[in-house]
Amino acid sequence: MLIGIDASRAFIKNRTGIEEYSYQVIKNLMNRIGKEHQVVLYIRQNQSVDFNLFGNLPAGKQDWKVKAIKWPRLWTQIGLSLEMLFNKVDVLFIPAHTVPIIHPKNTVVTIHGLEYEFCPKAYSFWERLYMRISIKNSCRWAKKIIAVSENTKRDLIKLYNIPEEKIRVIYEGYEKKLQSPISNFQSSLNEKIFKPYLLFVGRIEERKNIAGILDAYRILVEKYNIPHALVLAGAPGFGYGFIKLKIQNYLKIKNLKLKITELDYVSENQKWQLLSHADIFLFPSLYEGFGLPILEAQSIGVPVIASNNSSIPEVVGKSAILIDPKNPNEIAEAVQKILSDENLKKDLIAKGLENVKRFSWEKCVQQIAEVILRRV
């Protein structure tokens, strides 16, 4: 069987959620797809694939092929479509939403969430229009759809009338790191960060509810006089201008000792350094298709406060404090409860470490391989 995989998102330098999913899935598929099958990874013209990043390749996997498709614009709908027209494959796997208009009958696509439908103000009109059209078509064209959560599956059925039997829920995994604190806090981070601190990791944008985090932090300093700083780690996203202005205005308030640090995009190593020293991980997002950063925080023993909406309750169960993301007072009270109750903090840490055992990239990719190889 000849299998084609869209790898255009997997090998960019600064990976975030969907890019990390693509990378981890491709990496782990090398242990799941037997040498009786051929695999072609499609990348963009200026990209490259370093197989050394994957460690020692299993026997027979050195022959995986990489093909750069030289098309500057509309890469998927024109470039990848032409490739499917002239160089057919038996199965095409799209790890990130967008199926090309020309595609094989056996096409599998992963849908990560319909955030733009539930948080329309967090996207431009053209972004919403493009995503709605492309994802609706992708779901219509694909033979099988992988949804990363039951919540995403329900959204696809309710909003886009996708037949339930066409969708398979396969949870994401997470990159396992040491579960004990990392002692060598990088000097470059040390210079920027006040300790102790509360932490958010993710894109600094409206949908992630950074404004709500800022409001909750102000309440914590004013009402509870906590000594903690607030660290926001992530690249700017939609609505960042408003967020930046809000931060600047808060820092100007006299007699209010707010310590807010923005770090922009951080490397994988820096991310784990930040997580290992955080007192609490905040993730009051307005909508999530899955919520991978929650698992990363829990895996290293950090208590989590997250939203009570979308897929998050499904992912965390009872292992985190769930709050109304639109209520800053509720976020602040949850933080104060953890900071003032050591037994609660220990309980959340223990439950978090237990919760992450349900998820792994190995388990995720085993199920994806079953779909790609048409065993289910």
pLDDT in tens, 57-79: 554 455 689 999 999 889 999 99
- 253-282 burial, b if ≥16 CB within 10 A, otherwise e? eeeeebbbbbbebbeeebbbbbbbbbbbbb
Which distant-in-sequence residues (6+ apart) come within 8 Å of 1 by Cβ?
Answer: 36, 37, 38, 90, 91, 373
What does the pLDDT read at residue 376? 47
* Whether residue 166 sits in one domain with residue 227: no
347 falls within a domain? yes
* Whether residue 230 sits in one domain with residue 124: no
Question: What is the average per-residue pLDDT within 91-102?
Answer: 96
Question: What is the average per-residue pLDDT within 246-268?
Answer: 91
* Whether residue 308 sits in one domain with residue 328: yes
Percent above pLDDT 70 for the chain: 92
The C-alpha R_g of the chain, in whole angstroms, comes to 21
What does the pLDDT read at residue 271? 93
What does the pLDDT read at residue 61? 55
Question: What is the average per-residue pLDDT within 163-182?
Answer: 82
* Whether residue 149 sits in one domain with residue 123: yes
Which distant-in-sequence residues (6+ apart) come within 8 Å of 162 by Cβ?
Answer: 139, 145, 156
* Whether residue 216 sits in one domain with residue 118: no
* Whether residue 153 sits in one domain with residue 134: yes
Question: What is the average per-residue pLDDT within 25-33?
Answer: 90
Going by their DSSP bridges, the two strands 197-201 and 229-233 should be labelled as parallel
Residue 96 pLDDT > 60, yes or no? Answer: yes
Residue 180 pLDDT > 50, yes or no? Answer: no
311 falls within a domain? yes
Count CB atoms within 10 A of the CB of residue 78: 16
* Whether residue 141 sits in one domain with residue 109: yes
What does the pLDDT read at residue 308? 97
List the structure tokens of 289.
Answer: 């298709």
pTM of the model: 0.92
337 falls within a domain? yes
What does the pLDDT read at residue 211? 96
| 289/279 Cα distance (integer angstroms) | 25
Confidence band, pLDDT 50/70/90 cuts, at residue 182: low
Stronger pLDDT, 221 or 191, i.e. the higher one: 221
List 204's β-bridge partners, or say none: 236
What does the pLDDT read at residue 358? 96
Question: What is the average per-residue pLDDT within 208-237?
Answer: 96
What does the pLDDT read at residue 178? 52
* Whether residue 40 sits in one domain with residue 110: yes
Residue 210 pLDDT > 80, yes or no? Answer: yes
Max CA-CA distance within the chain? 69
**Which of 169, 220, 104 shows the shortest CA–CA distance to 363?**
169
* Whether residue 24 sits in one domain with residue 38: yes
Confidence band, pLDDT 50/70/90 cuts, at residue 14: confident
Domains of the chain: total: 2
Residue 257 pLDDT > 80, yes or no? Answer: yes
* Whether residue 366 sits in one domain with residue 348: no
Question: What is the average per-residue pLDDT within 143-147?
Answer: 97
What is the CATH classification number for the domain harbouring 51? 3.40.50.2000
182 falls within a domain? no
304 falls within a domain? yes
Question: What is the average per-residue pLDDT within 225-234?
Answer: 96
Percent above pLDDT 90 for the chain: 78
Confidence band, pLDDT 50/70/90 cuts, at residue 188: low
Write out the residue range of the structural domain in which residue 142 sits. 2-173+360-372
What does the pLDDT read at residue 175? 82
178 falls within a domain? no
User: Per residue in 258-284, pLDDT tens?
Assistant: 999 999 999 989 999 999 999 999 999
Please name the residue that has the structure tokens 């960060």.
193
* Whether residue 306 sits in one domain with residue 163: no
Residue 51 pLDDT > 70, yes or no? Answer: no
Please state, rounded to an integer, the average pLDDT across all residues of the chain: 91
Q: With contact defined as beta carbons under 8 Å apart, do 189 and 229 qualify?
A: no
| 49/31 Cα distance (integer angstroms) | 17
181 falls within a domain? no
What does the pLDDT read at residue 85? 97
Highest mean pLDDT of the ranges 84-88, 255-259, 265-269: 84-88
What does the pLDDT read at residue 268? 87
DSSP secondary structure string for all residues of 210-273: HHHHHHHHHHHHHHH----EEEEES-B-TTHHHHHHHHHHHHT-TT----EEEEES--HHHHHH
Confidence band, pLDDT 50/70/90 cuts, at residue 375: low
* Whether residue 169 sits in one domain with residue 221: no
364 falls within a domain? yes
